[in-house]
Chains A and B, each alone.
Chain A
């Protein structure tokens, strides 16, 4: 058990109209990983910004290593030994790892850059953390997870003793997450304090020594994560009892609504799969395994190279998303802000866009009709915003995703027989909204929709899906029935090269369909 490294007492922060932090006490020990969780708006990011010097608290005081700590800027905080590793990388892609590491405080000899010293320093850090790359590799050749590790190294080279990891795993594959956790554990063993925020509760529980839960700007729990059940933690975050999710019955589809045979395209090869009416089918795969490419091709956004696609018994080829939508095949894309929404426009605009013709007569939009539909959908999906004319950009992740959902519900009228392709449907969504999303997905299936979900949240797939296909390097390598797999089984299939041939034993029944 380490000594107190950082302490905040009675921290208040008020923004115009919002009390973001209402007297927060928060303590991090040296050599611990401290989880900081809460719903969107609970005050997590405000607290992180105060600790990292981006905001000043209105009231309250902080100490770091026993001394008063009141940074005026993030640079101040870094000099003192407190640093944040942000989600957005701040690396220069064309410089090497070593060059990035010393950027802004290069070693010089006689006025010239001393690359050798930079390389030595980088190499020693790489060895210390047991990382898999060389100092001389350009950052642009590294993957997302590796770049984050470079960022982390840079923070360490500034002699940070308190490191804040703000949603570090959001963009990482399970494999990369694993490696990050190894590094985090090494740092902890060296006596560094780590604050860890994440939407993924499993990760927080797995890595953290202690946990602080924020709700409405106040600390509602501090202590060991193992002292509370997962369920209790979620209830603490939400401040209410979660409605009991009904356990889904295994659904066995009679005939597939959508199936593909020997389907190939950019990034996936020889895929055979089927989704039945009322069925929820999962796609598990690491980044680059072809899940996104496959879904986008099924939705008409990309062209397939080979193979057949059969929808409701007829062979189809979609030349555009428009064609797919007409056949009631709709995509909820990954990166919803970039692909799923027009952020500049209002909630109403986004909700009615795909179904606009139903609110028009002679090409003119009937404002009252679309208004009515948008208001109804906002209420039905419980989108939290003051009104329909609110800009989508200012919504939380969960509410954004509800708008994406809502626009298809409006466009499809009846969901019976429709095909929903969901790509990372709950990424960056808080726990409460995630549960709502799951309920919506199950509801769609109950009402006869066929659903195909790609997710890097394996727990999500295991909870929701009747069957799960595992993709590796663009090929289906395994298939699991509901209840037949654990997270470890899935990870094993997703990440390991050896074993089974594509469409092996367990897939027998489905392979023949369509």
Chain B
């Protein structure tokens, strides 16, 4: 038997006042298992820097942050959703739908940017609430529910735009969201950063945030402690839908066109980011800081692979592998239990 195993058993067996004393080996092991993923990020950065010194330039760093802004927005919403114990597989197609709705309303219906954005966010809200009702009232597992509503979002998308891309002139106010800059920082990055800060405060410093984490930790016990767990599940699912729609809006502005499948990849990428995040900072728990580490790893690898001229198909293989590896790590360490 390895020492680690022996240690972890002692933790649960020995009398508290004796067993809980920290010994250096334990502390190091704890630290490595908590922050190993952060080291992985540094290692990836170091490798790409060694191959291509341009990688670490300030231009490229801003570039990376700009590229990951939309994924960050989706992942933040999904983090709250996973923290409450639910999944959302519809974030990608809801983001696509929101992107098509916002561009369609501006270009084809010639509505103002504000109206179009509100309508797109309304789509995200609607899907979040639809998911909530199915999960909380009909008691269908969210994994199945959102797989279904994901397809419904695709249908709505195609019904509205017939599957075509939407090109045209966007007002400069709208373009500012995805392409503009505030000082040296792209607006999209500012939006993602503000959202991240808000979500961090919500989950860590507010009463409702604490209830979200409690519900995700043990719904049965949380309910018996007087927490309205159904409401917090709905909050998690709605947050995921809303953030997905916001990401769709930012993406459309960033691209300058409405792409009918533009946001679809976010389902995989955001799940990967959240699961990578669950391996670090607060192992076993979806947490904002961890998710940001996850988004950075995905973003850095995507950018780095481009920069060194790796074949395009490698991107998808690497992302899929990251998702599986992070979930495997968490499952092996018994930090999360799926099903």
A: which residues have CB within 8 A of B?
15-18, 20, 39-42, 45-46, 55, 299, 301, 320-322, 324-326, 331, 333, 338-345, 349, 353-354, 356-357, 360, 363-365, 367, 384-386, 390, 393-396, 399, 407, 411
| Complex contact B221–A341 (CB within 8 A) | yes
What's the Cα separation between A130 and B271 when bound, in Å?
Answer: 56
Contact A321 B223 (CB under 8 A): yes
Closest to A20 in B: B14
Closest CB pairs A-B (n = 8):
A41-B15, A342-B217, A325-B226, A15-B10, A322-B226, A384-B16, A342-B218, A344-B217
Q: Name the one of B7, B20, B285 contacting A15, with C-beta atoms under 8 angstroms.
A: B7
Residues on the A chain within 8 Å of B110, using CB: none
A341 and B218 form a contact (CB under 8 A) = yes
Stretch from B46-54, B133-141, B201-209 contacting the other chain: B201-209
* Cβ-based interface call for B13 (8 A): yes
Known: A16-B6, A16-B26. A45 touches B227 (CB 8 A): no
Interface residue SS majority, chain B: helix
CA distance A320 to B225 in the complex (A): 10
Question: Is A360 a contact of B207 with CB atoms below 8 Å?
Answer: yes
Chain A CB within 10 A, most for which of B206, B220, B222, B226: B226
A sample of 10 more A-B contacts (CB under 8 A), given A322-B228, A356-B207, A407-B225, is: A17-B18, A55-B1, A301-B224, A320-B223, A333-B224, A339-B220, A339-B221, A344-B217, A349-B210, A364-B207
Residues 199-244 of B contacting A (Cβ, < 8 Å) = 205-208, 210-211, 213-214, 217-218, 220-228
**In the bound complex, what is the Cα–Cα distance between A46 and B208 (angstroms)?**
42
Q: Do A364 and B10 touch (CB < 8 A)? A: no
* Given A16-B6, A353-B227, A364-B205; A386-B20 close (CB under 8 Å): yes
Check A15 against B218 for contact (C-beta < 8 Å): no
> Is B59 interfacial (CB 8 A cutoff)?
no
Q: Which residues of A contact B208 (CB under 8 A)?
A: 363
B339 at interface (Cβ–Cβ under 8 A)?
Answer: no
- Whole-angstrom distance from the CB of B190 to the nearest CB of chain A? 24
Bound Cα distance from A360 to B25, whole angstroms: 38
Q: 1/0 per residue B301-327: CB within 8 Å of A? A: 000000000000000000000000000
> Which chain B residues lie closer than 8 Å to A356 at the CB level?
207, 210-211
Chain B interface residue count, Cβ-Cβ cutoff 8 angstroms? 41
Given contacts A322-B227, A365-B210, A385-B20, contact A41 B218 (CB under 8 A): no
Q: Which chain B residues have a beta carbon within 8 Å of chain A's beta carbons? A: 1, 3, 6-7, 9-21, 23, 25-26, 205-208, 210-211, 213-214, 217-218, 220-228, 284-285
What is the chain B residue whose CB lies nearest that of A393? B12
B336's nearest neighbour on chain A, judged by CB, is A344
CA of A395 to CA of B225, assembled, Å: 20
Which among B13, B205, B206, B220 is the interface contact of A45 at CB below 8 angstroms? B13
Say yes or no: A15-B214 contact (C-beta < 8 A), given A321-B224, A363-B206.
no
Contacts of A341 in B (CB 8 A): 218, 221
What are 20 A-B contacts defined by CB distance under 8 Å?
A15-B7, A15-B14, A16-B10, A17-B18, A18-B10, A41-B14, A55-B1, A320-B223, A321-B226, A342-B222, A344-B284, A344-B285, A345-B217, A349-B214, A357-B207, A367-B205, A386-B20, A394-B16, A396-B15, A396-B16
* Cβ of B103 to closest chain A Cβ, rounded Å: 36
A343–B19 CB distance below 8 A:
no
Inter-chain CA distance A322–B11, complex, in Å, is 34
Cα-based distance from A345 to B217 in the complex (angstroms) = 8
Chain A residue at smallest Cβ distance from B11: A394
The CA of A331 and the CA of B225, in the complex, are separated in Å by 9
Complex Cα–Cα for A15 and B6 (A): 7
Task: Kindly list chain A residues whose C-beta atoms are within 8 Å of the C-beta of B15.
Answer: 39-42, 384, 396
Residues of chain A lying within 8 A (CB to CB) of residue B17: 384
Using A345-B213, A349-B214, A360-B207 as known contacts, say yes or no to A399 and B223 having CB atoms under 8 A apart. Answer: no
The closest CB in chain B to the CB of A216 belongs to B15
* A338→B214 contact, CB < 8 A: no
A46 to B10, CA, bound (A): 10
B20 touches A394 (CB 8 A): yes
In the assembled complex, the Cα of A353 lies from the Cα of B232 at a distance in Å of 14
Q: Is the CB of A321 within 8 A of B225?
A: yes
Complex alpha-carbon distance, A393 and B221, angstroms: 14
Q: Nearest residue in A to B215 (C-beta to C-beta)?
A: A342
Does the CB pair A385–B16 fall under 8 Å?
yes
Contacts of B21 in A (CB 8 A): 17, 386
Q: When the two chains form their complex, are residues A299 and B224 in contact, meaning their CB atoms are under 8 A apart?
A: yes
> Are A390 and B20 CB-contacts (below 8 A) given A41-B14, A321-B224, A341-B221?
yes
Among candidates B25, B26, B205, residue contacting A365 with C-beta atoms closer than 8 Å: B205
Q: Is the Cβ of B225 less than 8 Å from the Cβ of A46?
A: no
What residues of A have a CB within 8 angstroms of the CB of B285 in the complex?
A: 344
**Least Cβ distance of A451 to chain B in Å?**
18
B residues near A364, Cβ cutoff 8 Å: 205-207
Q: How far is the CA of A394 from the CA of B220 in the complex (A)?
A: 20
Contact residue among A17, A365, A407 (Cβ-Cβ distance under 8 Å from B23): A17
Partner of A17, one of B10, B210, B220: B10
Q: Are B224 and A365 in contact (CB under 8 A)?
A: no
Beta-carbon contact of A16 and B3 below 8 Å: yes
The distance from the CB of A65 to the nearest CB of chain B, in whole angstroms, is 26
Most B CB within 10 A of own CB, among A15, A357, A384: A15
Q: How far is the CA of A425 from the CA of B3 in the complex (A)?
A: 35
Taking a contact as CB atoms under 8 Å apart, the answer to whether A343 and B14 are in contact is no
Bound Cα distance A299, B6 (Å):
41
**Closest residue to B14 on the A side, CB-wise?**
A18
**B165 shortest CB reach to chain A, Å:** 43
Interchain CA distance A320-B223 in the complex, whole Å = 8
How far apart sit A364 and B207, CA to CA, in the bound complex (Å)?
6
The residue of chain B having its C-beta at the shortest distance from the C-beta of A56 within the complex is B1
Contact B13 A46 (CB under 8 A): yes
CB-CB nearest in chain B for A42: B15
Residues of B within 8 A of A301 (CB): 223-224
Decide: B20 and A365 in contact? CB cutoff 8 A.
Answer: no
Question: Could you say which residues of chain B place their CB within 8 Å of the CB of A40?
Answer: 15
Q: Report the minimal beta-carbon distance from A38 to chain B, rounded to whole angstroms.
A: 10
Residue of B9, B17, B221 most packed against chain A (CB within 10 A): B221
Contacts of B26 in A (CB 8 A): 16-17
Which of the listed residues B19, B205, B208, B222 has the most CB atoms from chain A within 10 Å of its own CB?
Answer: B19
CA distance A342 to B214 in the complex (A): 7
Distance between Cα atoms of A354 and B214 in the complex (Å):
11
Distance between Cα atoms of A343 and B213 in the complex (Å) = 12
Closest A residue by C-beta to B225: A354
Determine the distance from Cα of A394 to Cα of B11 in the docked complex, in whole angstroms: 6
Task: Tell me which residues across on chain A come within 8 A of B224, comparing CB atoms.
Answer: 299, 301, 321, 331, 333, 339-340
In the complex, how many angstroms separate the beta carbon of A113 from the nearest chain B beta carbon?
Answer: 31
Choose among A345, A353, A386, A394 the residue that contacts B12 (Cβ–Cβ < 8 A): A394
The residue in A322, A325, A395 that gathers the most chain B C-beta atoms within 10 A of its C-beta is: A322
Nearest residue, chain A, Cβ from B3: A16
Q: How far is the CA of A164 from the CA of B33 in the complex (A)?
A: 36
